[in-house]
Every structure is written in C-alpha cells, then in structure tokens.
A and B are shown apart, each in its own frame.
Chain A
Amino acid sequence: MKHIKTLSGATLANSAAKGGCGECQTSCQSACKTSCTVANQECENK
C-alpha cells in the first residue's frame, strides 16, 4: 500500500481462538504495584 503501512494485523481477533488459559503473569506481580498495565505481559501459550 502507498498510503498505509500496517505494523501489526488482527492480533486480538486471532488471539480469541485459543485465549483465556490464564497461565500468563499477573500484571501487578511483574513491576507495577499501583498502575495496572496488562498489554505488556507476555503470552505463555504462544
């Protein structure tokens, strides 16, 4: 495409299929203890 460069595709839509295993780290256990940030956790079920 000339006008648009896609950095990442439908990652969320695709993740729903095998999502919800719950094995990933709890966000407050990683480094934050006061400001919830979930999107920077890693998936454990890649």
Chain B
Amino acid sequence: MIHKFNQVNKNIVIDVNSGAVHVVDPLVYRILDYYSIKSDLEIIGLLQEEYTVEDIQEALEEINTLKNEGLLFSEERYLEHESFKNKQPVVKALCLHISHDCNIRCKYCFASQGDFKGQRTLMDLEVGKKAIDFLLENSGKRRNLEVDFFGGEPLMNFDVVKDIVKYGRGREKEFNKEIRFTMTTNGVLLNDENMKFINEEMYNVVLSIDGREDINDHMRYTINGQGTYEVIVPKLLKMAELRGHKNYYVRGTFTKFNLDFSNDVLHLVDLGFKNVSVEPVVAAPQHDYAIGEEDLPTVFKHYEILAEEYVKRTKEGNPFLFFHFMIDLNQGPCIIKRIVGCGAGAEYLAVTPEGELYPCHQFVGNTDFMIGNVMDKSFKKELYYTFAEAHVYNKEKCNECWAKFYCSGGCHANAYHFNKDINVPYNIGCEMEKKRIESALMIQAKLAEEGV
C-alpha cells in the first residue's frame, strides 16, 4: 500500500508497510496513479503528450528499483512476525487521579469539570501507595515505568503527590525499576515551592492553556467565572524557564470557537513557550463547541498554515516544537509499538481516588469499564485482554488506512464514545490525524531540501 499527497508543492509518497518516505517529481506522482493497474506501454501512452517517452521510462525504472528494494509497494508481513506474536502485555504506566476536584471549570472538560461524574474526592496516600505497588508488581521485566499525576487538578492534593513520589522512589530500587513521574496541571496553584519539587521530580510536566487570552478565558475560567489566562501565564512561563525549556509542554484544546487554532499555537510560541501541543476537542455533536465534519477544511487549512510557519521559524533559527508535528523518520517507535497503539487498558491504566482501575482516564466514571481495584487487588482479566487485543489489525477500518502505523489505531476512548466500540475509530479524529501526519512529513521534506 502507498499513500501520496501534495502539500506546499511537495509531492510526497509513503510506502505504508516499510515506512519509507519519498519526495517525487510531478511525473512519478502521475505514474503512481496508474502503476498498479496499467502496463508500462499503457502508462507511456497516457502520459506521452506531457512528457518524453525517455523520461517516462526512466521514471518507471526508478519506481521498479524502489519496489525491488522493498521501498515501494512492499508487503505486509508483521502479523506473523515473532516480535508481534510473542508480545506480552504488562502494566507499565498509570494515570493517577490524585484529585477528583478542580479549582477551575472548563466548558469542554471530559472529567465533568473535575469530578468525573462522581463525588469531589482526593486520593489518599494509602491508595497511592497501593497503586505504586500494583504497578511495580505487574510490570514484568519493563524497567521504565510511568506515573502521571492527573485530575481534576493535582496541585489541590500536592502533599499526597509528594508522599507518593517519596514512596515510589524508595520502592523502585527494590524492583530495579525507574518510575518517571509526570504531572498535568492547570497551573493556577503553581508557586515557588511546588515548582521546585515538580522541577526536581517530574520527568515531564503538561501545563494547560488554550492560547490567546479571549480564547482561553472563554473555555477555561474559575468557579467565579473569571478567566484564567492572566493568572497562569506568568506561572507557566516561570515553570518552563525553570525547566530550561525542556521536558514540558503547554497543552491546549481547540474547539469550534477557534478553528483558526494556528494563531493560538503561535501566540503561545510568541509568549516564549518552546514546546506546544494544541489538540482538537473531542465532544458529542450537541455541544456548541464540538468540531464537526463541516469544520474539517478550516482545520486542515490551519494545520497547513502552522506547518509552513514551523518550517519558516526553524529555518530562521528560531524553532519550536509542536507535539503533533514531531516525527522522527529514522528513530521513531518500532513497528510493534505502532501496531499495539496507546496501550490503554493493557499497558496503561487509570486509578481513581478510590483505587478503582479503568482502561484510561477517559473511561473513568463508566463502571462498565471498571477493570479492578488496587485496594483489594481485584482485576478483570477478560476486560484487560479485550483492550490488549484492540490493536491495528483488529480494527477493520484501520487495516485499509495508510496512516495506521502513525496513529496506531487511534484513541480507544474516542472510538467507544462515538461508536460504542473500541475497535471502530472516531472518524473526525482520523481525518485530523491524517492531516497532521501529512503536515509533519511535508515539514521533514522541506527541511531536508533546505539542508536544515
């Protein structure tokens, strides 16, 4: 399978199964429309009014060479590969819902504005310790483990965060593991003391802000209805500065209200942030802020605008990172990871303040998906293996899709919330993801051309 597209006058061809990426001239781009269904003579006949026969034959030879080298039209062989067949899911990452309470109210919050449709509760240390034990005991031979402090707002329960980190640091040595703690925070409660701790102990920190002041404040406001922008910007900048502008992201959500989100990304960059992630809202169609199919052309246009600006600023020596444009073509994840996907429900689980285990943070509150509890060590193996098997090859739509080894089947939670089936991907999300991948590859092509 191949996929070809043109963006900013670059003709790019992806060989899906091998992972090879090529930049081709307009002649090869045309030939590839016919290559698999016409003979060489027929192709020459179709194109000889526009190109010389010699050029067409030369281009055909180049395509044949790459095909013979396994770099075009390569076959799919991974399903039978030993590395795939022998994979054993183990739990390696937890999303600790340290606080089912929040000090701000975001209109689009999937956590039902912090409480996940339940009581406003905080995790106590005992539950946190049991969660760490659960992770250490169920992580098999994995050495690198991950624990994200999530909410609600984690800083509302910061003393317990500190105690859990201390406990984890003690226990990881016994198991010869390394726990990478991370935190996702809205930033309102950041102060010198907790920033110092976060800087020292957190492998990564995700700082929530949507972009321009009016955009942010329309969706992210305090309990009293005050916008958060003015309060958080200085704090988030200080946090980024303390971390030397590494191992953090400012992360926003864009909605139907700011389909021109490229301006929000660039606003955050212009404020001084170097690592930015702004993602489309995932919301049921009845919400006024939900992104619909009719919005896709605008969204695509703004991914293109952003990609061009990304190239421009990189060339000018003033680069920034946009999470969804980061693709390392040579040292990205292996094919097994790309088949297995995000690992929700198998490698990655969410833990509520009560110790309940869910496939991920987005399933929390839907008791049909409660997978166990760290307190009594209950664990529903059947549900666990259902998620472990929700990989690319078991998603019918993904099998036909060129992007399957980039998005890896997409988000199970989005699939369930829109289609009531974790194996049927959320279509609008797929379309946006494909545009992001194309934009990321265009960036690579442009930068390679410029020798950057």
Residues of A within 8 A of B (CB): 1-13, 15-46
- Number of residues on chain B facing chain A (CB within 8 A): 98
Whether the pair B343, A40 counts as a contact (CB closer than 8 A) is no
Q: How far is the CA of A17 from the CA of B84 in the complex (A)?
A: 10
Whether the pair B334, A32 counts as a contact (CB closer than 8 A) is no
Nearest-CB residue, chain B, relative to A18: B334
Whether the pair B334, A19 counts as a contact (CB closer than 8 A) is yes
- Known contacts A2-B62, A4-B24, A16-B81; A29 and B146 CB within 8 A of each other: yes
B408 sits at the interface (CB 8 A) = yes
Hey, which chain A residues are within 8 Å of B307, CB to CB? Answer: none
Q: Which 8 A-B pairs have CB atoms at the shortest separation, nearest pair first?
A: A12-B19, A19-B334, A20-B336, A8-B329, A15-B334, A38-B408, A10-B18, A19-B336
- Write the nearest CB–CB distance from B288 to chain A, whole angstroms: 18
- Known contacts A8-B19, A10-B19; A42 and B332 CB within 8 A of each other: yes
A25 contacts which of B146, B277, B326 (Cβ < 8 Å)? B146
Whether the pair B279, A32 counts as a contact (CB closer than 8 A) is yes
Hey, which chain B residues are within 8 Å of A11, CB to CB? Answer: 18-20, 329-330, 332
Give the interface SS of chain A, mostly helix, strand, loop or mixed: loop
A46 contacts which of B148, B324, B331, B360 (Cβ < 8 Å)? B331
Whether the pair B334, A39 counts as a contact (CB closer than 8 A) is no
Q: How far is the CA of A43 from the CA of B148 in the complex (A)?
A: 20
A43 contacts which of B22, B204, B332, B414 (Cβ < 8 Å)? B332
Nearest-CB residue, chain B, relative to A9: B20
21 CB < 8 A contacts A-B: A3-B27, A3-B58, A10-B70, A11-B329, A13-B18, A13-B70, A16-B81, A20-B337, A21-B334, A26-B347, A30-B204, A34-B253, A35-B411, A35-B429, A38-B341, A38-B342, A39-B332, A40-B332, A40-B440, A44-B144, A45-B334
Q: How far is the CA of A41 from the CA of B19 in the complex (A)?
A: 15
Nearest-CB residue, chain A, relative to B26: A3
B348 sits at the interface (CB 8 A) = yes
Hey, which chain B residues are within 8 Å of A6, CB to CB? Answer: 20-22, 66, 71
Q: How far is the CA of A20 from the CA of B65 in the complex (A)?
A: 30
Q: What does the 1/0 interface line of B230-257 toward A look like (CB < 8 Å)? A: 0000000000000000000101010000
Q: How far is the CA of A3 from the CA of B26 in the complex (A)?
A: 9
Q: How far is the CA of A44 from the CA of B180 in the complex (A)?
A: 14
Nearest-CB residue, chain B, relative to A22: B142
- Quick one: which of A40, A43, A44 has the most chain B CB within 10 A? A40
B53 sits at the interface (CB 8 A) = no
B63 sits at the interface (CB 8 A) = yes
Whether the pair A42, B324 counts as a contact (CB closer than 8 A) is no
Q: How far is the CA of A12 from the CA of B78 in the complex (A)?
A: 10
Hey, which chain A residues are within 8 Å of B333, CB to CB? Answer: 15, 24, 38-39, 41-43
Q: A24-B337, A40-B324, A42-B332 are in contact. List 18 more A-B contacts (CB 8 A).
A: A4-B62, A4-B63, A9-B71, A10-B19, A11-B18, A11-B329, A18-B334, A20-B87, A21-B334, A25-B146, A29-B146, A35-B279, A35-B410, A35-B414, A36-B341, A38-B333, A41-B333, A46-B331
Q: How far is the CA of A32 from the CA of B325 in the complex (A)?
A: 13
B41 sits at the interface (CB 8 A) = no
Q: How far is the CA of A23 from the CA of B342 in the complex (A)?
A: 13
Hey, which chain A residues are within 8 Å of B360, CB to CB? Answer: 28
A19 contacts which of B142, B206, B249, B337 (Cβ < 8 Å)? B337
- Write the nearest CB–CB distance from B75 to chain A, whole angstroms: 10
Whether the pair B142, A2 counts as a contact (CB closer than 8 A) is no
Q: How far is the CA of A38 from the CA of B339 in the complex (A)?
A: 10
- Known contacts A8-B21, A10-B71; A26 and B342 CB within 8 A of each other: yes
B290 sits at the interface (CB 8 A) = no
Q: How far is the CA of A26 from the CA of B347 in the complex (A)?
A: 8
- Known contacts A20-B84, A37-B433; A7 and B110 CB within 8 A of each other: no
B405 sits at the interface (CB 8 A) = yes
B435 sits at the interface (CB 8 A) = no
Interface residues of B in 301-338 (CB under 8 A from A): 323-338
Q: How far is the CA of A12 from the CA of B338 in the complex (A)?
A: 9
